[in-house]
A and B are shown apart, each in its own frame.
Chain A
Amino acid sequence: MTPEGRSAARKRAARAMDGATILLIVLLIVQIWLLMASVESWLAGHRGVALPAALMSGALFCGCVGLVMLAHRAGRTARTPGTGGAPPPSS
C-alpha cells in the first residue's frame, strides 16, 4: 500500500472508531437511564419491570460488546504493517 493509501485507511479507521465510541456512549446513557428508571419503578411497587429491564440491559450490553469488537477490528486493520509489533525505542 502507498503511504497516501495507508494514511487514508488510517483516517477511515479512526473515523469508524470514533463513530463506534459515540454509539457506545449513547447505548451507555440508555443503559444508565434504564437502571435508574427500573429501580425507581420497582421501589414504587411495579415488580414486573425487573425482568424486561434486565433483558433490555443485556441486549444493550451485547450491543456495546459488538461495538467495541468492531472498533478493535477497525483499529487493527488500519495499523501500519510492522507498527503493531513496533520495535522499542533504540535510544
Chain B
Amino acid sequence: MSDKPVSCPREKRLWSEEFSVAAGEQSFVERRQLGKFLLLTSAAMFAGQIWLLAKDAFTKRVHTIWPRKAVALESELAVGAAKVFAYPGPQDNCLLIRVDEERYVAYSQKCTHLSCAVVYSAGNRRLECPCHEGYFSIEDGHVIQGPPPRPLPRIELERSGGQLYAKGITVFGQEEAR
C-alpha cells in the first residue's frame, strides 16, 4: 500500500464514503448498501406495476373483431363426442363438444394454467388437463379442480342451416367489455 497521502479532496470523499476504516463503520456501510439494494428492488416492483397500468390502458383501446368461421356440421358429431378445430388462427386449437341432442359448446384447448392441451372426458363430462390434473366444467368452462387460475375461454357458436359457426371468444371477466 502506498504511503502517499490522498491529496484530491473528491477522491478522499469517495474513498471515505465507501470504505470506512474503523470496524464499527463497516457495519454501517453494509447496512446502507443493503438498504440501497432493497430500495432498488422496490423501484423495480413499482416499475412493474406501472408497466401493468400502461398495458391496461393500451389494451382497452383494442377492440377485437372476431371472424365467423364454419367449424363443423351438426350431423358430424354424436352426442358426447368432441372435435378439435382451429379458431381464430390456425394455431389456436379449440374443442367442440356436443353436450346433448340440441346443445353444443366450444372452448379453447389451451389450459389457463401452463397452456397444455385440455381433452374432453366423456365419462366424467368434463374437460381435463393431463399436465397437472386441472379439470374444467363443460357447462361454462369454470375450474372444477386443480391449479388453473381461471376458466377456459369460451367460443361463441352459431347454428345455421345444419352448420356450426364460431363467431367470437369470451374470456372470463371480459364479457362486459365486448
Residue numbers of A with Cβ under 8 A of B are 10, 13-14, 17-18, 20-21, 24-25, 27-28, 31-32, 34-35, 38-40, 42-47, 50-51, 53-54, 57-58, 60-61, 64-65, 67-68, 71-72, 75, 78-80, 83-91
Q: How far is the CA of A54 from the CA of B34 in the complex (A)?
A: 25
Q: Are A46 and B173 in contact (CB under 8 A)?
A: yes
Q: Quick one: CB contact mask for B12-29 with A, threshold 8 Å, 1 for yes?
A: 110110001110110110
Q: Are A61 and B45 in contact (CB under 8 A)?
A: yes
Q: Are A28 and B1 in contact (CB under 8 A)?
A: no
Say which size band chain B's interface belongs to.
35 or more
Q: With an 8 A cutoff between CB atoms, is B52 at the interface?
A: yes
- Chain A residues closer than 8 Å to B52, beta-carbon distance: 35, 38-39, 42, 50, 53-54
- Chain A residues closer than 8 Å to B43, beta-carbon distance: 61
Q: With an 8 A cutoff between CB atoms, is B90 at the interface?
A: no
CB distance from A58 to the nearest CB of B (A): 6
Q: How far is the CA of A34 from the CA of B20 in the complex (A)?
A: 38
| Chain B contacts with A in 122-178, Cβ cutoff 8 A | 149-150, 171-174, 177
Residue numbers of B with Cβ under 8 A of A are 1, 3, 5-6, 12-13, 15-16, 20-22, 24-25, 27-28, 31-32, 34-36, 38-39, 41-43, 45-46, 48-50, 52-53, 55-57, 60, 149-150, 171-174, 177
Q: Are B21 and A83 in contact (CB under 8 A)?
A: yes
Main secondary structure of the interface of A (DSSP, over half): helix
Known: A83-B20, A88-B15. A64 touches B38 (CB 8 A): yes
CB distance from B41 to the nearest CB of A (A): 6
**Residue from A10, A13, A31 having most chain B Cβ neighbours under 10 A:** A31
CB distance from A31 to the nearest CB of B (A): 4
One of B38, B46, B173 near A25 (C-beta < 8 A)? B38
- Chain B residues closer than 8 Å to A67, beta-carbon distance: 35
9 A-B residue pairs with CB within 8 Å: A14-B31, A31-B42, A44-B173, A54-B49, A61-B42, A68-B36, A72-B32, A88-B21, A89-B1
Q: Are B45 and A65 in contact (CB under 8 A)?
A: no
Chain A to chain B: the 4 pairs with minimum beta-carbon distance, closest first: A45-B173, A50-B56, A57-B49, A64-B42
Q: Are A88 and B20 in contact (CB under 8 A)?
A: no
- Chain A residues closer than 8 Å to B3, beta-carbon distance: 90-91
- Chain A residues closer than 8 Å to B41, beta-carbon distance: 28
CB distance from B61 to the nearest CB of A (A): 12
- Chain B residues closer than 8 Å to A45, beta-carbon distance: 150, 171-174
